[in-house]
Structure formats: C-alpha cells, structure tokens
A = this chain, B = another copy of it.
Amino acid sequence: MAIKVHGSLLSTATMRVLACLEEKELDYEFIPVNLRAGEPKKEPFLSLNPFGQVPVLEDGDLKLFESRAITTYIAYTYAKNGTPLISQDPKKMAMVFVWMEVEAQRYENAAAKLTWELCIKPITGRATDDAVVEEYEAKLATVLDVYEDRLANSKYLGGDCFTLADFHHLPTLNYLMGTKIKALFDSRIHVNTWCADILARPAWKKAFAMKDNK
C-alpha cells in the first residue's frame, strides 16, 4: 500500500514531509486537505490528528502526525532509499539531533512567526504587524550568528553531510527568501552558501513545484 500524505501545499509542515519523501525517492499519494474550509478541525481529520493540523502520514496501518516526527520516521525506516538524511554513527547522529533541536526550538520560533507575518497574512488579506516583524527579525539574527560560526567549521549544521538538521529549515527558508528577511541570510557568507546549497536540492524543487502544478 502506498504512503499517503494528508496536507496542504500552503503548509510549511506539509512541504517538509513531501520534500522528505522526494529525498528518499519514495512513491506517495498526496491527499489535499482544505484549510480554508476548516477541514483539519473536523472529523474525519481529527481522528488522524487530534490537534487538528496538517500533515498526517499513513504508511500501512501506521498513522503519524507532527512533521518532524514523520521525517524522522521516514529517515530511519527507509534508511537505504535516496538521501540518507541521518547518520548511522551514534556520535555523528548525536550532533544531528542537537541541530535538529536548534532548528525546532530556536530557528523555527522566529522563522515561522516571520513567515506568518510577511507571507501568509498578505496572501490571506491580513495586515502585517511591523512590530512583531522587528522583534522576530532580531531573534532570527541572533540564531543566524550562531549558524554562521557553525557553518564556518562544518559544511552542514549536523556535520559533513546534508541531514534532517539542514533539511527541516527548507519550507520557511524558501518563504523568507521572497521577503526582506533574505538580507539576514545574504549578509552572512557561510549561511548564504548553505542556503543556496540546500535550496537547490532537486527533491526540494520537485516538492515545491507541486504548488505551481496545482
């Protein structure tokens, strides 16, 4: 039975899962969920995710939510397919987990807020709150200063190879590249090189192109 992804192409979390399946060269069926109609907050979706948010992955009888848990499951379960995304060396994997946490707890906190204010609100006809943008721009800059130091000594955040630690950044990074926040990434030489590298990955381009083909 093919893997199924219930989600929305507007959702950064859904894009994270779709791009992961592309990196692993796995076949899947995409089942669109209508966010504007409030479908995630109603049955039958709530039985898939009681928090009422996309995406949900079905792999046989297994039903998973939380995008980073899904990508971790895919990376471990389909370790031999496509791009590894994890390390089999426990010490190297420990560093991948460290930078996965940094993304989830520090980068995402600022990046998601900025994506919401500068990208999603304008799309949905709401006004951007400039004070919020200023606050989270400063927070993101602090995180990127640490990234700049790390990437001066390591090709990728998790180590020498592209892993989930880098990969998880892609959906919000892609959105922010279309805003004034791009300057924060461009002005840091190692961050800039890293961004160009990971945004150019064919799997990401393929997942992102689904938006245009819809």
Min C-beta distance of A61 to chain B, whole Å: 8
Q: Which residues of B contact A65 (CB under 8 A)?
A: 98
CA distance A208 to B185 in the complex (A): 42
Residue of B nearest to A149 (CB): B50
- Is B77 touching A98 in the complex (CB atoms < 8 A)? no
CA distance A76 to B73 in the complex (A): 15
Interface check A2, CB cutoff 8 A: no
Min C-beta distance of A7 to chain B, whole Å: 16
Interface check A30, CB cutoff 8 A: no
| Interface positions of A from 58 to 112, Cβ below 8 Å from B | 62, 64-66, 68-69, 72-73, 76-77, 90-91, 93-95, 97-98, 100-102, 104-106
| Interface positions of A from 118 to 133, Cβ below 8 Å from B | none
CA distance A66 to B69 in the complex (A): 17
Interface check A1, CB cutoff 8 A: no
- Is B76 touching A93 in the complex (CB atoms < 8 A)? yes
CA distance A50 to B65 in the complex (A): 31
Residue of B nearest to A143 (CB): B51
Interface check A37, CB cutoff 8 A: no
CA distance A73 to B96 in the complex (A): 10
Given the known interface contacts A146-B50, A149-B50, the answer about A94 and B66 at a Cβ–Cβ threshold of 8 Å is: no
Q: Which residues of B contact A155 (CB under 8 A)?
A: none
- Is A66 touching B105 in the complex (CB atoms < 8 A)? yes
Interface check A150, CB cutoff 8 A: yes
- Is A90 touching B76 in the complex (CB atoms < 8 A)? yes
CA distance A169 to B94 in the complex (A): 21
Which of B68, B97, B98, B102 touches A101 (beta carbons < 8 Å)? B68
Chain A residues close to B by CB (< 8 Å): 50-51, 62, 64-66, 68-69, 72-73, 76-77, 90-91, 93-95, 97-98, 100-102, 104-106, 146, 149-150
Q: List 9 A-B contacts (CB under 8 A).
A: A50-B149, A64-B95, A64-B98, A66-B102, A69-B94, A69-B97, A72-B94, A72-B97, A76-B90
